[in-house]
Amino acid sequence: MPKPQSWGGKKKWPSKHVYLQGQGSSNLSLSGDSLEQGYKCKGNCSLRHLGFRLHKFNIMQPRLSAVFFFLLGLSFCLTVPIPLDDSHEFTEEDLRFAERYLRTHYDLRPNPTGIMKKSANTMASKLREMQAFFGLEVTGKLDEETYELMQKPRCGVPDVGEYNFFPRKLKWSNTNLTYRIMSYTSDLRRAEVERAFKRAFKVWSDVTPLNFTRIRSGTADIMISFGTKEHGDFYPFDGPSGLLAHAFPPGPDYGGDAHFDDDETWSDDSRGYNLFLVAAHEFGHSLGLEHSRDPGALMFPIYTYTGKSGFVLPDDDVQGIQELYGAGDRDPNPKHPKTPEKCAADLSIDAITKLRGEMLVFKDRFFWRLHPQMVEAELVLIKSFWPELPNKIDAAYENPIKDLVFMFKGKKVWAMNGYDIVEGFPKKIYEMGFPKEMKRIDAVVHIDDTGKTLFFTGNKYWSYDEETEVMDTGSPKFIEDEFAGIGDRVDAVYHRNGYLYFFNGPLQFEYSIWSKRIVRILHTNSLFWC
């Protein structure tokens, strides 16, 4: 579950009241012993208009200590030795990039003292912290998989809480919040930008008592702007890709504000970066949420396009925001998608296929990647690989001779060459020889030894010749007649070393092609060594 964003650190305040030089009251609440709800303000409080005149307690600029270290780090060359995995060669620029990444997102401090051994341990510790956060193999070394993840476009907010001053939960004390759009991107029409932001706020108001009202003048709780590089808050953007946006947690002045990198290409679909999806994530920070380790959560730090319409806030995010503000009474989608647990006793799967030596196991809008060289299965969103595919797959198989993977959903089939959809797809499944009234394929498997592909639907199966591209004579046949004991339904199936592995709910049946019998019954989750 994403944890509420805080101003972490060791700072202790002298009393329960914090006085700022400013005027008026703030819409901030901190829970804990160090501050009681709300605070008092004298004079003109706004940093937006004072030009970074900071109060001596530094509460007006979240994570300022991290800023100073970040700026200091820019003046250093590669001062921290990076533990490396010997299986991959990195350039000096690669290593500089990795160091900057850990400074920005994992509070790696620069090493002006030249104490190399201690710094190496610190770097290894930060690499382990990052690898654990993203579910990678935890080695404390920079390897190819870790570096590839560092290069993915993401939110600019750190993944650790040590950047912040106050170690308590932050939230807005008022449920009626205002926002103001200070500037626009030229990539979209103004109305499209406004619609994206309005829809992004609705994601959170649908599941909480929060209400958001746009104002066109004055100071709002959440000020929204587009900028490039250094844009006035000590957190510079980095040009195209990389850091897409960032937002501050609830608080005075910059608290709640959201900034978007105008060097990105913003869109309302899968081109460039979808403004609605990025904004919904950033507004989660504006409301007090930190990043989530759940790859299916909106608050996961890596950008993934999840579709143009029909977005439903994942359960992990719902739990996080309702921990802060409670539940609302107007949720239009009471069923929020959960991220599957690979070791769940009742795990079932939707589809399974090989892809260039890997095994892909599909469940809901996700798939696990299983590779012989990977210790842990990697869980990723389908749309992070194939944005144009549906969120859920019925069946899939690989034709290794053609180097294609075919994926089925309803009456459609897609042919994929790696990341790319083959020209002319999707097609209707009846073009492969199925009856036009057939509604879906339940499971499919390709058998390399025979060149045949078996399609399972209902209690029957079809045999398809990949060379002639026609159905075999006698298709369809009853599953029970050919594969006795596996039942009259198949969720997924794959072939390995002369055996077919049929999945039916939480069970898988190991079936010998040669002896034509079931030799073992396993749990579905045994795929993941559970």
**Residues labelled catalytic:** 282
Q: Is 8 marked within a binding site?
A: no
Q: Is 424 marked within a binding site?
A: no
**β-pair partners for 267:** 274
Q: Is 493 marked within a binding site?
A: yes
d(CA 200, CA 186): 19
Q: Between 64-74 and 92-106, two packed helices, what is the crossing angle to 10 degrees?
A: 170
**Of 467, 465, 461, 454, nearest to 480 (Cα)?**
461
- Cβ atoms of residues 441 and 450 within 8 Å: no
Q: Is 263 marked within a binding site?
A: no
Q: Is 394 marked within a binding site?
A: yes
Q: Is 105 marked within a binding site?
A: no
Q: Is 107 marked within a binding site?
A: no
457: which 2 tokens? 């639907």
Tokens 């299983």 belong to residue: 370
How many angstroms from the chain centroid is the CA of residue 316? 12
Q: Is 17 marked within a binding site?
A: no
How many angstroms from the chain centroid is the CA of residue 358? 21
Q: Is 299 marked within a binding site?
A: yes
Alpha helices, DSSP H only, in 260-359?
275-286, 315-325
Other CB atoms closer than 10 Å to residue 493's CB: what's the count? Answer: 27
How many angstroms from the chain centroid is the CA of residue 277? 11
Q: Is 364 marked within a binding site?
A: no
Q: Is 255 marked within a binding site?
A: yes
**β-pair partners for 368:** 361, 379
Q: Is 88 marked within a binding site?
A: no
User: In this structure, what are the phi and psi dihedrals at residue 504, rounded to the nearest 5 degrees?
Assistant: -140, 100
- 406 Cβ contact list (under 8 Å, min separation 6): 396, 397, 398, 399, 413, 414, 415, 416, 444
Q: Is 262 marked within a binding site?
A: yes
Q: Is 315 marked within a binding site?
A: no
- 367 Cβ contact list (under 8 Å, min separation 6): 360, 361, 379, 380, 382, 393
Q: Is 465 marked within a binding site?
A: no
**Of 393, 406, 335, nearest to 364 (Cα)?**
393
d(CA 281, CA 123): 29
Q: Is 187 marked within a binding site?
A: yes
CB neighbour burial string for 55-92, b if at least 16 within 10 angstroms, e if fewer? beeebbbbbbbbeebbeebeeeeeebbbeebeeeebee
Element (H or E) spanning 34, and its range? none
Q: Is 192 marked within a binding site?
A: no
Q: Is 505 marked within a binding site?
A: no
Q: Is 85 marked within a binding site?
A: no
Q: Is 264 marked within a binding site?
A: yes
CA torsion sign for 168, 172, 175, 179 is negative
Q: State the distance between the two ends of the chain, measured CA to CA, in whole angstroms.
A: 23
Tokens 């003048």 belong to residue: 217
Q: Is 239 marked within a binding site?
A: yes
Q: Give the residue ranges of the annotated binding site for Ca(2+).
A: 187, 221, 238-239, 241, 243, 255, 257, 261-262, 264, 350, 352, 394, 396, 491, 493
Residues forming the annotated binding site? 155, 187, 221, 231, 233, 238-239, 241, 243, 246, 255, 257, 259, 261-262, 264, 281, 285, 291, 299, 350, 352, 394, 396, 491, 493
Binding residues for Zn(2+): 155, 231, 233, 246, 259, 281, 285, 291, 299
